Amino acid sequence: MWNYNLILPECVIIGTFLIFYFTQPRLPIKINRAFIYIIVIDLLTLFVDVVSSYCLEHFNYLDPCILRLQNIVFFILFLQRTFCFLMFTTIIVKKDMRTSKKEILIFLIPTLAAHIFVLLNFFFETIFRISESGKYSQGPLYCLIYVCAYYYVILSIIYVIRYRKNISTGEFIFCLGYNLVLLTGYTLRIVYPRYLIMNFFTLVSIIVIYLAFENPALFIEEKSGAFNRKALMHLFMEMKAGKYPLILGFTIHNYGELRDIYSNNQTDKGLSLIGSFLKQTFPKLMIFYLRDGRFVLVGKDYSQAEEIKNKIRNRFDSAWNTGEDIDLFLEISFAQLNPETISCDRDLLFTTMLTSLTDIQSKNQAELNVTIEQVEQIEQNKHTKRAVELAIEHNSIELYLQPVVDARSQKLTGAEALARIRDSNGEIIPPSQFIPIAEKNGRINILGKQMFEKTCQFLHDNDIEAMGLSWINVNLSPIQFLRRDLCDNFTAILKKYDIPAEKIHLEITEESMIDYELLKKQMEAMKAAGFCFALDDYGRGYSNIARMKKCPFINVKLDMEFVWDYFKEKDKILPTLVQTIKQMGFTVTAEGIESLELADTMRDIGCDYLQGFVFSQPIPANEFAGKYGKN
């Protein structure tokens, strides 16, 4: 006789799971399909287990062939249940078994062999025996069922441990946990064969899986009621090219300011209204909310994009009433992925969507169609960001120097220090590409400090007087200039290499002059420590001569575009400006000198120093020392 005490509670709990699960929104992704498969297989196994056990207890009323068939079905389902838990694990740890023929064989051969021996029980007593009297007993190969079960559970545990870097610590613990529960269940089933106990441990495993991986709250954004960022990432990672060609996002303008204006409570109510509108108006689309006022809609019909955008625009033309006579007036912008971008790397595609929504929000751009070229640019930025991190981590930023010559004698007088980093292939990444990224992620401070130290080391290690080198210009980012410890850090480096402060001229751009009071305070503190300043790229920005006069500059560098425009079409503006700057007590450097004729022109209008390719491109510091140390 079998003990059925645990069966009814198990059925009730699994039934409750099914009802609740199917009434909640869910994504068409592997992990959800695998979970449904586990529940269905478990219910079938539980049902067949009870039916076959009951029939064996009442064998007098049934044909032996029916008893044999019922038990064969049970063992097939038992094997399937074990196998589907392993498949769920591979999905969690992001291991696609189809990429390796060897692993496919490791997966399939044991279960195929076990299925064959179970089916052979139609003709031979391989797994179990049923006597003419209806007595049930184990067959000579019964142990294969447990061997197969243990094999897949242990294999599942191995994959969890092996690929733990692909999952979070919490996911690792829960994934390991439900596999250990299954292992315990199989062991107790061997010890207590008359108790239908394995179903209980399977149920516990399902509960662990549900709480850790399938709880709808994990994929739903609370404020809007839409799917969240994690859900969109899951969908993107599994999305097949062409299946969901419609990927349309929109973002609310000035979202952070709106929360301050309307209060967090009212803004959250507005998000709930927007989420409800989108779900009711577009029931065939999957709606996602990525926080910070960013929504994404995913669907199968790309041709509906314009119609969808028009409906959303029309709704946003009206206010969102959150009650208490409060209306939210919101403006939005759209970003849409072109269908051909779906073939790109999914992780990159997800990043592109987020970046595009952020960009149109900051620029208040009405609409953006994201092309493959833009995806590739974001990918390049990703690699550049990694290159910056590695260069800073290993202090491998390279110091390049470009000479600055006296305008009349054209002899070396100074140099500009320029940073260079390399990608994974050893190719130089242009500063115009990595500097903005370093500024955006805050790494420019460390990068700038390392460049300053390398410049000091160069001055310490070389006979600069023999070169005719009086000073080196070092660029300062506006972000660096915000640091209050900038003067202390740079002064400490000067002392380390015993370099006089006047040997280094700090270049700042016109952009740094936006916050004039902070700029002036920082410059005065550093001037007291002996530092000198040059204003870089003059003519590109919006600084004025009155402000420039109040700052302790010793040199003004004319932007190359400014210089080239004058060379193409002569006028009185640049010569007058040069003379005005010189009368203020500053020297003038002309950048972008690419011909001797241009050099002569800049000399004639009064420039003191010249810098450009006609004299030399930026070259590595050791090459610079070798070249000018001999002259």
Pairing label, strands 532-538, 327-328: unpaired
| pLDDT for residue 322 | 83
Reported as a single tens digit per residue, the pLDDT across 380-438 is 888 888 999 999 999 999 999 999 999 999 999 999 999 999 988 888 988 888 888 88
d(CA 331, CA 24): 31
Which residue positions in the chain have pLDDT lower than 70?
A: 1-8, 58-62, 97-100, 132-134, 194-196, 324, 362-364, 511-516, 541-544, 546-547, 630-631
Record the pTM.
0.70
d(CA 363, CA 368): 11
Cα-Cα-Cα-Cα dihedral sign, residues 281, 284, 290, 295: negative
| pLDDT for residue 60 | 64
What CA–CA distances, in Å, run from 503 to 273, 352, 397, 412, 415?
63, 45, 21, 15, 11
Domain 229-370 listed as CATH 1.10.1740.10: no
Identify the CATH homologous superfamily for domain 381-628.
Answer: EAL domain (3.20.20.450)
| pLDDT for residue 546 | 67
Alpha-helical (H) ranges within 300-430 are: 305-316, 346-363, 372-393
Three-state SS string over 558-597 comes to: ECHHHHHHHHHCCCCHHHHHHHHHHHCCCEEEECCCCCHH
Q: Which residues neighbour 15 within 8 Å (Cβ) at sequence distance 6 or greater?
A: none
**621-628 contact pairs (CB < 8 A, 24+):** 621/398, 621/399, 621/400, 621/401, 621/454, 621/458, 624/400, 624/401, 624/403, 624/415, 625/458, 625/462, 625/467, 628/403, 628/412, 628/467, 628/468, 628/469
| pLDDT for residue 541 | 59
Angle, helix 596-604 to helix 560-568, in steps of 10 degrees:
90
